[in-house]
């Protein structure tokens, strides 16, 4: 057990070192994300003109939601893992994992965690710079300690869901030379049904209820809704349970793709 953990700890440290090389890329990306917040503030400020609430939430609550989305996207989103996995399959680098007692999923997840740790810490810099400008619009829920405790496991499960989906798309390279079209389609659905374009509770009731059973609901919207008070506390437990179900389902799909993909794989290169 300790030997297995040591392997993935080493992978984590390698991932940490490689991502620290690009630390300023993450910092600059986070800084430019502040301009995105400016656009969000402008658009939603115009949407709330002449009214006190939309969908039962006021302007401060809505802006707080988008502010929370910014660090979440750097801490738990899968940025380019699908393309990295695809590249390792195409150039034969994946062959080295077939000859060693290393679980490829665990290896890639260790690297993913290292990358998110670096980007998550570095996004705090632009947030600190922008804090004086948006501090007055923050609406902190009164029960924030409880929501923090519930939101952290939701973040972990969300990261697992996002990484595993990216992992599955990367494995499609066993069958398709280029996976970009699949990734772009998935990203478009994620932006719409993941709550990155607008809070999902603003959708029609029937569509919102339907989205609760899709994995995209739990990728960004669910943890953000917990932290910002948009998700009633009594509904969080059921949401966490559905997250666990999706993690199990996606892990099963990932393993099936891996086993079937290996049957088609020709070990050349690496």
Tokens matching residue 268: 């050349």
Q: Is the pLDDT of residue 254 over 70?
A: yes
For the chain, the structural domain boundaries read: 2-264
| Short-list 109, 78, 96, 119, CA closest to 12 | 109
Q: Which pLDDT belongs to residue 127?
A: 82
Q: Which pLDDT belongs to residue 162?
A: 95
In this prediction, residue 270 has a pLDDT band, given cuts at 50, 70 and 90, of very low
Q: Which pLDDT belongs to residue 22?
A: 66
Asked whether the beta carbons of 30 and 74 are under 8 A apart, the reply is yes
Q: What is the pLDDT of residues 123-137, one digit of tens each?
A: 887 788 888 888 888
* Chain centroid offset of residue 229 CA: 20
Q: Is the pLDDT of residue 26 over 70?
A: no
Better-predicted residue by pLDDT, 90 or 149: 149
Tokens matching residue 63: 């802006």
Q: What is the pLDDT of residues 168-218, one digit of tens each?
A: 999 999 998 888 888 888 888 888 889 998 999 999 999 999 999 999 999
Instruction: Give every CB contact of residue 214 below 8 A, 6+ residues apart in sequence.
Output: 193
Alpha carbon dihedral 131, 133, 137, 138, in 10-degree steps, equals 0
* Window from 112-116, 219-223, 244-248 with minimum mean pLDDT: 112-116
Is 0.95 topped by the overall pTM? no
Q: Is the pLDDT of residue 16 over 70?
A: yes
């Amino acid at each position: 057990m300790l030997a297995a953990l040591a392997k993935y700890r080493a992978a984590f440290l390698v991932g940490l070192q490689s991502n620290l090389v690009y630390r300023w890329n993450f910092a600059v990306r986070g800084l430019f994300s502040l301009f995105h917040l400016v656009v969000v503030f402008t658009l939603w400020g115009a949407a709330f003109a002449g009214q006190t609430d939309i969908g039962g939430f006021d302007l401060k609550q809505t802006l707080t939601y988008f502010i929370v989305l910014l660090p979440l996207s750097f801490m738990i989103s899968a940025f380019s893992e699908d393309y990295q996995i695809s590249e390792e399959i195409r150039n034969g680098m994946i062959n080295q994992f077939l000859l060693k007692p290393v679980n490829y999923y665990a290896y890639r997840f260790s690297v993913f965690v290292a990358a998110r740790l670096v980007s998550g810490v570095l996004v705090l810099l632009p947030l600190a710079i922008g804090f004086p400008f948006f501090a007055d619009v923050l609406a902190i829920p009164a029960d924030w300690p409880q929501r923090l405790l519930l939101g952290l496991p939701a973040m972990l499960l969300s990261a697992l869901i996002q990484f595993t989906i990216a992992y599955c798309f990367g494995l499609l390279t066993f069958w398709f030379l280029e996976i970009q079209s699949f990734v772009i389609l998935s990203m478009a659905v994620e932006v719409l049904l993941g709550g990155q374009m607008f809070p999902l509770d603003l959708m029609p009731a029937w569509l919102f209820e339907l989205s609760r059973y899709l994995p995209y609901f739990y990728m960004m919207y669910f943890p953000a809704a917990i932290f910002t008070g948009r998700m009633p506390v009594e509904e969080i437990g059921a949401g966490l349970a559905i997250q666990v179900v999706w993690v199990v389902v996606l892990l099963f799909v990932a393993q099936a793709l891996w086993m079937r993909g290996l049957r088609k794989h020709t070990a050349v290169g690496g």
